[in-house]
Amino acid sequence: MQFYSTPWLSHPDLGQIVRFYNNSDLSMNSVQLEGPYFTTKLKTRGKGKGKATDQIHSVAYEKASVAVFSGARNELLFNFGIILLEIGFAQPWHMLKRSVSPTVTGEKLSDYKTAEKLAQLLINQMGLTYPKIIKKCLGCDFGLGETDMDNEDLQRRFLEDVVSELQRLREHIREMGLYLLG
């Protein structure tokens, strides 16, 4: 996670770059990938060398990567929570977002409310711990009232409440013989 100025984590790309591969259409002889994977856009040198399809892909990628998440107390942690949701449901954020119904009055939910609703739905599939971790990230709720990741107390709490818990979940899954997370 980004405690300092780690350049590989760019704010707008988080929650937009997780990709899943469907192996059902592959033959037995082909290489099979197990997801999720993170994608990134590599900058190319030189003008006019790219194909029209490359330019279209680039524009589509840029539009997808500038999503604004309203209602988030800490954008980086919120985006990390979105990544965890994408992994939990094995679907990209734009599809998850569409799957959540608007309010009773027909009002569109904010990204924060949508993500919280989705985290709640994961309880049936994944138990209480994983959604609890997601909710902590979404709301930057570590019991400190702090939202700045430069704060050492928040960093410590993030390590204890998120990183350590995810590691415990991974070990638990391995013990059960389900190698889903890696």
Residue 181 included in any domain: no
Q: Residue 19 — pLDDT band, cuts 50, 70, 90?
A: low
pLDDT of residue 108: 80
Structural domain total, the chain: 1
Global pTM exceeds 0.75: no
Q: What is the pLDDT of residues 115-161, one digit of tens each?
A: 999 999 999 888 899 999 999 999 998 988 888 888 999 999 999 99
Q: What is the mean pLDDT of residues 25-53?
A: 51
Q: Is residue 4 part of a domain?
A: no
Q: What is the pLDDT of residue 62?
A: 40
Q: Give the pLDDT score at 119.
A: 95
Does residue 125 belong to any structural domain of this protein? yes
pLDDT at 36 over 80: no
Between 176 and 111, the higher pLDDT residue: 111
Domain, as residue range, for 23: 11-175
Distances (CA, A) of 95 to 44, 54, 59, 70, 157: 29, 24, 19, 18, 31
